[in-house]
Amino acid sequence: MTHPDPQVTRRTLMTLLAGLPLLVAARPAAAATPSLSFDQLYSKFGVLGLEFSEKVKSLAGQQITIKGFMAPPLKAEAAFFVLTEIPMSICPFCSTDSDWPDNIVVVYLGEKQTFVQPSQTIEASGVLEFGSWTDPETGFVSLLRLRNAEYASV
């Protein structure tokens, strides 16, 4: 049920390392980039934890695309934004990641891009990474991330 942390980190690291050359190679063949959707992220939602789907596990380290909505940045200078399944509305007391839905993807941009309106569907592409990880600057804990990402309105 639970992923022992070191194992996840090691596997993530390995897939990341494996993914990096792939990323470069895959760039020209953008048409073949596999896509992921929010309902394909987890194979099981349970009270005692979630399980990543086989698709997520198999795509880790690869360039993928996913459609969703951009939640407003936590801080203006944050290096990432949160991609959500539906446009985000947060409670007045949410100052941390604690009140976000389970199914979010944290998107680390390769280069700065301008914010799009929250009701605009966007497609983000980047290298998929999974496993619990704490952003060192903000303390934001994420389970799924896109690295070196970019996005466009669709």
Partner 1 sequence: MRMLLSALAATTFLAGAAQATTVYPLDRATILAGSPFDFKVEFKSVVKPEDVKITVNGQDYKTVLGKEAEFVAEEKGKEDKVLGSALIARDLVLPTEGAYTIEVTAGSESKSVTWDVYNTGETAKAKNVIFLIADGFSVAHRTAARIMSKGMTEGKANGRLNLDDVPPAAFIGTSATDAVATDSANTMSAYMTGHKTAVNAIGVYADRTPDTFDDPKVENIAEAIRRQTKKSIGIISTAELQDATPAAVVAHTRKRGDKAEINGMLFDVKPDVLLGGGSAYFLPQATPGSKRKDDKDYVKLFQDAGYTLATDKTELAAAAGTNTGKILGIFHTGNMDTTLDREFLKKGTVEKFPNQPGLVEMTKVALDSLSKNPEGFFLMVEAANVDKMSHPLDWDRAVVDTIEFDKAIGVAREFAAKNPDTLIVVTGDHTHGVSIIGTVDDEKPGTEMREKVGTYASAGFPNYTDENNDGYPDKVDVTRRLFLNANNGPDHYETFRPKLDGPFVPAIQNEKKEYVANEAYKDVPGAVFVPGNIPKEGDSGVHAVDDVVLQAVGPGSEGFKGYMEQSDVYRVLVDTMALGVKQTN
- Binding residues for partner 1, rule: CB under 8 A, are 1-5, 8, 42, 45-52, 71-73, 86-99, 101-102, 115, 117-119, 132, 134, 139, 141, 143
Closest to partner 1 by CB, 37 or 117: 117
| Shortest distance, position 26 Cβ to partner 1, whole Å | 27
- Coil/strand/helix, residue 90: coil
Phi, psi at 29, each rounded to 5°: -90, 55
- Residue 45 or 54 having the CB closest to partner 1: 45
Q: How far is the CB of 119 from partner 1 (least distance, A)?
A: 4
Tokens standing for residue 5: 């942390």
Instruction: Compute the least distance from the CB of residue 11 to partner 1, in Å.
Output: 12
Dihedral sign for Cα atoms in the order 19, 12, 48, 139: negative
Q: Nearer Cβ to partner 1, position 21 or 46?
A: 46
For 54, the 3-state DSSP assignment is helix
Burial of 111 (0-12, 13-18, 19+ CB in 10 A): exposed
Nearer to partner 1, 3 or 20 (CB): 3
